[in-house]
Amino acid sequence: MARQNYIFTSESVSEGHPDKVADRISDAIVDLHLAREPEARVAVETLTTTNRVVLAGETRTEEPIDKEELIETARGAVKAIGYEQDGFHWKDAEIECHVHGQSAEIAQGVDAGADKDEGAGDQGIMFGFATDETESLMPAPIAFSHAIVGALAEARHGGETRLLPDAKSQVTVRYENGRPVGTTSVVVSTQHQDGLSQADMRELVRPYVERALPEGWMCPEEEFYVNPTGKFVIGGPDGDAGLTGRKIIVDTYGGAAPHGGGAFSGKDPTKVDRSAAYACRYLAKNVVAAGLARSCLIQVSYAIGVAKPLSLFVDFAGTGEVAELELENKLLDIMNLSPRGIRTHLGLNRPIYERTAAYGHFGRTPEEDGGFSWEKTDLAEELKRAF
């Protein structure tokens, strides 16, 4: 039997964290390509460090985009985050571009042909998860960690000049009888203007934390930690190098559910690391929204060049109202989980990815232009009828 009384911790990082700067640049380049050509293939990685950005990877389009436009897209992403510091400035940073054409051997496995559907862009395993412990059907620790750094970013963009782009949060949640009931500790580290004390920052950050948490959830005063090192002026890529794809647990479920290992950012939706993880979240969320389980974990697996998934696994962790095997079979009927089927069902061949690069790929609100389509619960009624 699963434990009913415990504490669990998750963290989030802001859009100005060096790894998230890299993720955003990579996804901005994905969007640039998909806006021009919905079937473009993109796999671009980014390195950020003191006043330097390096782009590397491979793309395939009918009309290749020149390197200068890729560089300007990267510069625009940094500007949008708000970096105008001596050690990292959108205007002054040196940006190198080493993006080249896609490998022909990868292309031949992925492309559709006369006798085969489009195959998966790589082998691998992908997971999706949903739980009814929050309105967004996300685990509480990661949901509130995102909410805190998101609130700080909103304040900064709204004119709070004491806050700078780099920030982290960490929330520890107490569970009783399997349900989240409050926090036992909260940690926030945020970059700030020079001259502010740790006490100043504690009181500056406090109201954003209190508003992000449910009423009565604030941790004990002695367990509220703000900038524990005392000072955080040098931040972002000037303080630490960043790389695309290093925050995969922040991107997903905060450690409350497994992750297949593949990162999302910088990849077009033919890469099942991304699209199949979105599909699994979509299915798991609809299962919980339909009331078939309070918690649902889904895994799929693929082989490179093969269209159909090799396996589908569902686990309710003892919270289900129906048989997991029966649901597995039903999900395969309801949704085509081939790479092409996923992209078509969720409308993924669109420039909707730069916005996913910070504050989580899941638990977001579906948008009119197709952004976060995997957060829709439009299958819930069909699943209810099926059972």
Catalytic-residue membership of 273: yes
Can you tell me the distance from the alpha carbon of 44 to that of 26, in angstroms, rounded to the nearest whole number? Answer: 6
Catalytic residue (one of 8, 232, 316, 372): 232
Residues 6+ apart with CB under 8 A from 141: 8, 9, 10, 171, 172, 173, 180, 254, 256
Catalytic one among 24, 60, 75, 168? 168
Catalytic residue at 144? no
Distance CA 51, CA 78 (A): 11
Verify whether residue 133 is a known catalytic residue: no
67 assigned to active site: no
Catalytic residue, chosen from 246, 274, 281, 355, is 246
Choose, from 247, 294, 330, 345, the residue flagged as catalytic.
247
The answer to whether 45 is a known catalytic residue is yes
Choosing from 45, 122, 238, 354, the catalytic residue is 45
Cα dist from 207 to 53, 201, 210, 225, 264, whole Å: 35, 11, 5, 14, 32
**In 10 A of CB 228, how many CB atoms?**
10
Residue with tokens 């004390």: 197
> 267 an active-site residue?
yes
How far is Cα 134 from Cα 53, in angstroms, rounded to an integer? 38
Question: Which stretches within the chain are classed as H helix?
Answer: 18-36, 67-81, 104-110, 140-157, 198-212, 236-239, 248-251, 272-289, 324-334, 339-346, 380-386
Residue 19 falls in the annotated catalytic set: yes
Catalytic residue among 240, 324, 328, 364, which?
240
- 20 assigned to active site: yes
Single out the catalytic residue among 17, 192, 274, 281: 17
- Is residue 246 flagged as an active site residue? yes
17 is catalytic: yes
Tell me if residue 58 is catalytic: yes
Catalytic residue selected from 20, 33, 192, 281: 20
Catalytic-labelled residue, pool 37, 39, 58, 200: 58
Active site residue 271: yes
Catalytic residue among 56, 80, 155, 241: 241
**Active-site residue, 79 included:** no
HSE, CB side, 13 Å, CA atoms: give it for residue 333.
Answer: 8
Q: Is 285 a catalytic residue?
A: no
- Catalytic entry in 271, 274, 343, 355: 271
Catalytic residue among 238, 273, 354, 375: 273
Catalytic residue among 192, 267, 343, 355: 267
Catalytic machinery residues: 17, 19-20, 45, 58, 168, 232, 240-241, 246-247, 267, 271, 273
